[in-house]
Amino acid sequence: MTTPPYQPGYPQPGYPQGVSDKSKIVAGILGILLGTFGAGRFYTGHTKIAVLQLVVSVVTCGFGALWGVIDGILILVNGGTDAQGRPLRES
């Protein structure tokens, strides 16, 4: 058996359909400005990572905030996904 060719407009098995309603710019800015609190990850729906960012920042007396800043920059440069795996929208 062979896999049928890709057809635009039809969802492919194993891939989420569409683009997220969350903005890449908002997620990146939140990550840079409020990365200590995991705000960018809470915004995109990644609550486990957001809570982990918050705990690391508290345990390291604020030095863990660097994780949020780097995460925000990476989201702005490379994009990211929401909790359902859909790519964040550009605007």
Judge whether 46 and 81 are in contact, CB under 8 Å: no
Q: Which two tokens stand for residue 54?
A: 């918050």
Please state the domain extents for the chain.
24-87
pTM: 0.79
Judge whether 88 and 18 are in contact, CB under 8 Å: no
pLDDT single digits (tens) 36-81 = 999 999 999 999 999 999 999 999 998 999 999 999 999 999 999 9
Residue with tokens 């909790």: 83
d(CA 89, CA 22): 6
